[in-house]
Structure formats: C-alpha cells, structure tokens
Structure 1
C-alpha cells in the first residue's frame, strides 16, 4: 500500500461552491479550493465573481483559484485575495474554449515565458504562498510542462499540480502518469511537492497513480462530482487512517443520500443569495452511477424551482440505499418530479 498523501478536491466551476467544499472536507478531503474564477471580474470588483471566492470560518486553509490571460489583472487579483486567503492557486489547466480563447487557462502552456513571468509577479504581489495547476502542454507535440514546472519550482511556488493530459485532449484518452513522474523528478531538487491529477476515481486507481508518479498528493475532480465520499473511501480502503465515516456503513447509494442531505444543511447554514446557486446541478449529479438514475435525471432537469428537487431525490435515494430500485420507488420519484416541472421559481423576500 502507498504511504498516505493529502487528497485535494479539484477546483471546478459550478461545483466547488462553499457548501460543497465544506462537505468534501467532512467526507475526507484534506484540501479544497474555490471554483476557478476570472481575474478580470475580481479585479473589477464584480459582485458575482467575488461570490465565487467566498469562504466560511470552518474552511481552513482557504484557497481561491484564479485564471486569466492579462498579466496585470492576475497580479492585482493576487494582491487583493492575499488579504484573506491562505494560499492563492493559479489555473493554467482549464481546457474550456471560453477560457482558452482569451489565452488563459491551459492556453498559457503554449507561452512558457509569459506564464512564468505571470507566476513570478503574482508571487511578488501576494502576501501568501502561491501554487499552480497546469497540464502537460497544448498538444502532444509541445509538452512544455517539464520546463514550466521546473521554472515555477525555482520561483518558490508552494506546490505544482499537474493534470496528465494536454489542452487538445481535454478529458479524452488516458492521463499520462509517466509524464507526471518526470515532473516530480524536476521539482524534487527544489523541494516542491507535485500533486497528480487525472483518472483517479477510486482507491485502486489512487494507489496505482501514486506508484507510477511518486507524487506527494492526489487531486480528484470529475470523480468527486456527485460523490464527495470518494475521499473517505480512498483513505479507508488504503488503510491510511481510521476515518470515521459520517455516513456509517452505508453502501455507495446511502453515502450519496447522506451527502445530499448534508449539502442541503450546509447551504441553509451558509445562507446568502448565492449559497444555493448550484443546488439543482449537485442534486442531479448525485444520481449518476445509481440504478434508475438515467431515467430520473431528465425529470429533475425539468424542475424549474431548485428548492423542489429534494423530495423526489430523497425518495429515490431511499430506494437506492435500501436496494429497492427495482420496486415502484424510483418511478414514484419520477412521477413526483414530473408534478413539479411547471412550478415556477419565486424568490423569497
């Protein structure tokens, strides 16, 4: 078995809101980061952008992640965030076209000198440590990660996280853990930890990734969408610690049921106009991988008032967790969801 390493919840737009980050911590994650947020909006003091980097007293360390293609905006944002953050993470890994078309995110991997200069200036402007997340390069012909990672390590970044795919791959193909192992080698002389990201979906893949890469930590993204309990399961199944699972001995469906109800509790606790903005999408994500989930999801999508999604979800989860998915319970949940689809959302005063 591999030695214990910290587990990170990857920053993801529309996923890692405050409530979900707190939930992931309770479920076994060691580190979480905010949704990746545009420096252009933060530097302009845009309210919606700043809502994405809100935090909670129980969230420690607080790690906002930012992206941008304009150096001065990134530097100013790093300065502003460092007043409250414990670490600032710079995103050079997002492959989304709306990000890369502005030469931000993973597109920066094609401009090593500009990227490294941006990192250096952000470090100078920030009162707290800076970390970086990156990909292997823009495509297989231009794998710039070794040069960039080593130069960032020389600058003194706190850690380097590497997703084992290129920009052009997006999420296709298999993550190249061998290349991440080479990043570990070039960063080792500078005592810079490397966090491996890509294709870690359970304890078995976590163990194999650590064996191949020798990384000092693992970051989980898509595997944690709708399944925050993945962190606790990995720790327990690899024997890393006596993790006291708050969901008890529930099966995976029961874990998701616990996670959904706990997420709702955290949203209510946090309050504010933005706390529940991702609730509907999270609820739908929790049904993935469960029997009957494929049939239920379109009906959940059709519900306009996100506050009504809980009743059919809980009915279905109860069926899933007690292995009654072949009874009328899931069709009943679908019927309930259909009854809610025309109820319009009215904001409470």
Structure 2
C-alpha cells in the first residue's frame, strides 16, 4: 500500500499531473470518474494568494469527489511561500505540493519553479518553511536538474526528505529540455533504489499507453505514475492502465457516445464553475483533443469554438454523436502539445 502521510493510495497509484489552464475542477472530474487515484490543483502563485488575486483564490476550489487532492504552490520567496501555505491549508486539501519543476520563462526567470534547481540550499530552506507552516503532508514535484550538466536530483531527493516531505514526483527531463526529447527515467529509478530514501517516488514523463505504464513500472520500480499530457482529451487512460495491469488485455477504445458524454460533462461543469462566458471560452482548447483523429471534424470544431451559446454547443455535440455514432477511434491516448507547467 502506497501512502503519503496517512493518505492511502492503493498498491500502485496513478496521479493526474497539475497542469496550468488544464487541470481545473471540470477536467479533474472527468479524470476522477475514469480512474485517477490522486489529483492536484493547477499550480497557484504564492504571491497571487497573498495579494488575494481572484484567479489564484479560485484555483483553491476543491470538491468532495476529488479527494484525495493536493494544492500545488509555487513561488520564489520563502516567507511568502510559508504564508500562502497557511492560506491553502485553510481550505482543507489532503496535502500541499510544491512546484519545483515548471520550466516556462515567466515562472523560472522569476526564481520560481525549476529555477530552484539552481539553488538547492534555497530549495531546502523553502521546503522546510512550507513543512513547518502546515500540519498537512507536503510533497514536491521537480525535474532531474536545470540542464544535462547539473542533474542534481539525487541530492535534492535526500535533502528534501530530510526536511520532511512525504513524497517526491520526478519528471524525467531537465529544465533545459522543456518537453522535448524523451524523458529519462534512469535517475528516477536510482533514487528509488537509494536505501536512504523511504518516501514514495513517483515517475512522470511520456506515459501515454497501458503498455508503457507497465513497462516503466516493472523496469524502474517506482511507487506510482503521474500522467499529464496523455490525459488531455483522453481521461480514460487511467482505467485503461489499471485494466491492463490486472488482465494483460487492452480495454476497447471509448465509444463515440463516451467521448461526447465526457465532453458534454466537462463543458457543463466548466460553465457552472467559471460562469457561462468564461466556461465556454476556456473549454475551446479541449474539443480537438476529445475528438482527435475523427475524419472531417474540422467543420464541427469550428462551430464549437465560435459559439457562445450553451444550448447551441450541446446541440453541436449531439450532431457529432449522430454523425459519428458507431465510429471507433483505434488510436489510444497520445501526448498532446502543451505549453503549461508540470
């Protein structure tokens, strides 16, 4: 049984990665219903919380169906991170996660996210401050290092465990790689094999099929897998992996009705949670991914991204189901282009 503090996650948990502008409550809902064992909020700016910024505060919204769920925070100032940890703790998540992996310039160039991989003493100091600011378990998500010359994740793992983190998720790329090239899980395995390490180690990067999930579980010995880009538009990947682990067989690809139903549910909750206009606008990024691979889908997609009327949008989705009912996409989950955080 894998545990983070007192949180029991099963024998080999599948985690949904925190992704900016993606892993909001509507998206998390469809992933939870399709097998995600642990989820996280979008990453939240510590300074935004301190300033009481609306967007940052809204990201603290969590719902009973999501548990267990972690609030992920990022920042560059130790005191601010400690203070925002207290704010996040007050909404009663199951854990606090610190983002030391975001590679994008607007974060890393301000000394937050993956930038802390260049200053391990500061990372340790910040982590200790967060641990001391809450009674909740604190976890960390990070990368192998800043670049190929500074892959310092082995030192990071030991020192962060020493100051009290309860789990560590490692994306198998450096900051310099961004999302390019293949994720290298060999160092992740080395950390898991380290006799000093006794906290759960989760691997992240490039898992886009049940076969690959099983291969990496067996080859690298990690405690669980975090899935990000492959779940965008394809929340079924979690249950597909679990089924493959249990039976050695692949589940059938989701039917067109399942795809349309998931998209409708996502859209409905997006409107309810964000308000009608914003919910509709922010849903536009998801349509292509839900129906990736459908022939001649462009006409429907254009209608979906142009409409601002809920009833019209649901009607367009009904039309999609009528036109493609019985059509099965053979392709499984695949990583999509994503320029957010990890």
Q: TM-score scaled to structure 1, two decimals?
A: 0.82
Instruction: Mark the runs of 5 or more structure 1 residues left unpaired by the alignment.
Output: 326-349
Q: Hey, what's the Cα distance between the residues in 1 that align with 2:24 and 2:318?
A: 22
The Cα offsets for residues 225-262 of structure 1, whole Å up to 9 and x where unpaired, read as 11111101111122179xxx9xxx66354432232123
Q: Does 1:258 align with 2:261?
A: yes
Alignment of 1:276-295 (within 5 A): 278-293=282-297, 295=298
Q: Hey, what's the Cα distance between the residues in 1 that align with 2:37 and 2:55?
A: 27
Q: Secondary structure at the match of 1:228?
A: coil
Pick the aligned partner of 1:185 from 179, 183, 193.
Answer: 193
2:254–2:328 Cα contact (<8 Å) kept:
no
1:139–1:167 Cα contact (<8 Å) kept:
yes
User: Residue in 1 aligned with 2:130?
Assistant: 122
Alignment of 1:83-162 (within 5 A): 83=90, 84-162=92-170
**Residue 46 (structure 1) shift:** 1.1
CA RMSD, aligned part only? 2.7
1:28–1:232 Cα contact (<8 Å) kept:
yes
Q: Does 1:168 align with 2:176?
A: yes
Greater shift in the superposed pair: 116-125 or 55-64: 55-64
Alignment of 1:240-259 (within 5 A): 251=254, 253-259=256-262
Q: Hey, what's the Cα distance between the residues in 1 that align with 2:187 and 2:49?
A: 34
1:291–1:320 Cα contact (<8 Å) kept:
no
Pick the aligned partner of 2:206 from 183, 193, 199.
Answer: 199
In structure 2, relative to structure 1, the CA distance for the partners of 1:190 and 1:7 (3 Å cut) is same
Q: Hey, what's the Cα distance between the residues in 2 that align with 1:197 and 1:215?
A: 10
Greater shift in the superposed pair: 251-260 or 105-114: 251-260
In structure 2, relative to structure 1, the CA distance for the partners of 1:8 and 1:320 (3 Å cut) is farther
Q: Hey, what's the Cα distance between the residues in 2 that align with 1:279 and 1:313?
A: 13
In structure 2, relative to structure 1, the CA distance for the partners of 1:317 and 1:108 (3 Å cut) is farther
Q: Hey, what's the Cα distance between the residues in 1 that align with 2:254 and 2:292?
A: 15
Q: Does 1:322 align with 2:326?
A: yes
The Cα offsets for residues 124-160 of structure 1, whole Å up to 9 and x where unpaired, read as 0112110000000110000011111111112221100
Count of paired positions:
316
User: Residue in 1 aligned with 2:57?
Assistant: 50
Higher RCO, 1 or 2 (CA under 8 Å, sep at least 6)? 2
The Cα offsets for residues 98-118 of structure 1, whole Å up to 9 and x where unpaired, read as 111101111111111111110
User: Residue in 2 aligned with 1:5?
Assistant: 12
User: Residue in 1 aligned with 2:338?
Assistant: none
The Cα offsets for residues 32-65 of structure 1, whole Å up to 9 and x where unpaired, read as 1101111110111112211112111222123111
Q: Hey, what's the Cα distance between the residues in 2 that align with 1:270 and 1:115?
A: 35
Q: Hey, what's the Cα distance between the residues in 1 that align with 2:153 and 2:216?
A: 18
**Residue 277 (structure 1) shift:** 6.1
Q: Hey, what's the Cα distance between the residues in 2 that align with 1:209 and 1:296?
A: 39
In structure 2, relative to structure 1, the CA distance for the partners of 1:143 and 1:321 (3 Å cut) is farther
